[in-house]
Amino acid sequence: MSRGGLGELEHQTMLALLHLRDDAYTAPIVEELESRTGRDTTVAAVYIVLRRLEEKGWVESELRDPGPEGGRDRRYFAVTEDGIARLRRAREAYAALWDGLEATLGTGKGA
């Protein structure tokens, strides 16, 4: 796996993080992914992807007090500037690839 490559689960996880904003720790991330993609996902897979994204510098994490909810510190994840740039590049690449295929594949909404 090359350093600049963006795997599918990595891609999805970063998007899920952006959706979750400030509430992105492991359990909600898994649930977010499951509810948005409709596929079962294991905590292990997501956790490993998060660690890899951290290594690549596209995601950062910090231990934080969960706030009014109470309980112990949790590890919250967030997408970095580099991560966002990488997502943008991915979207451009996909957009270029999708361009002209609407007739074949539909618009993607409610298909």
Partner 1 sequence: MLPRRDRTLLLEEFDRLWERRVHRDGLRAARAWYRRETLAFATRWPLERFRRTTTTMGEGMMDGIRQLRHTVRGLARVPGFTAVAVATLAIGIGANAVIFGIVDRALLRSLPLPESDRVVQVFEGWFTNLATVEILQGGLTTVTAIGAANDAGGRTLEPADGPARRVTVAEVSPEYFEALGVVPRLGRLFAREESEPGRGGVAVVSAAFWRTALGGTAGALDGELVLDGVSHAIVGVLPEGFDFPSARNDVWVPVVMDASNPGLHWGNGSYSSVARMAPGVTPAQVLGEVMAFEETMRLANPLWTPNPGFWEGARVTPLQEARARWVQGPLTVLLAAVAVVLLVVCANVANLLLSRGLARGRALAVRSALGAGGGRLAREQLMESAVLAMAGLAVGLLLASWSLSLIRPHLPAELPGAAQVGLDPRVVIVTAGIALVTALIAGLLPAVRAARGAPAAALRQSGRGGGASRSRRRTTRVLVAAQMAAAVVLVVSAGLLARSLFALQGVDPGFVTDSRVTARVHLAPGLSGDPAARAVLLDDLAAALSRDPALGGVALASTIPFGSEDEYMATFIPGVTDDPNELPMARHHRVTPSFFEVAGIPLLRGRGLADTDRVGSPLVAVVDETFAQTFFPGEDPIGRIVRYPWRGAPDIEVVGVVGSTRHGDLADEREATFWVPLGQMGLGPIGHAVVVAEATGEPSAALGAVTARVRGLDDRMAVSELLRYEERLGASLAGTRLMAVLLLVFAVTALALGCVGVYGVAAFSVREKLREIGVRMAMGASTAGIRKEVLREGLLLAVPGGVLGLILAWPATRLLEGLLFGVARLDPVTFIAVPLILSGAALLAVVVPAHRATRVDPAVVLRGDG
Rounded least distance, CB 4 to partner 1, Å: 15
Given a contact cutoff of 8 angstroms between Cβ atoms, the answer to whether 80 and 60 are in contact is yes
Interacting span for partner 1 (CB under 8 A) from 8-16, 44-52, 77-85, 91-99: 44-52
Question: With binding defined as CB under 8 A, does residue 74 bind partner 1?
Answer: yes
Q: Angle at which helices 81-98 and 8-20 pack, to 10 degrees?
A: 120
Is 51 among the residues that bind partner 1 (CB under 8 A)?
A: yes
Give me the sign of the Cα torsion angle 96, 35, 19, 77.
negative
Nearest residue to 22 (alpha-carbon basis) of 82, 79, 71, 70: 79
Q: How far is the CB of 23 from partner 1 (least distance, A)?
A: 13
Q: Does 47 bind partner 1 (CB under 8 A)?
A: yes
Residues that bind partner 1 (CB under 8 A): 25-27, 30-31, 42-45, 47-48, 51, 55, 63, 71-75
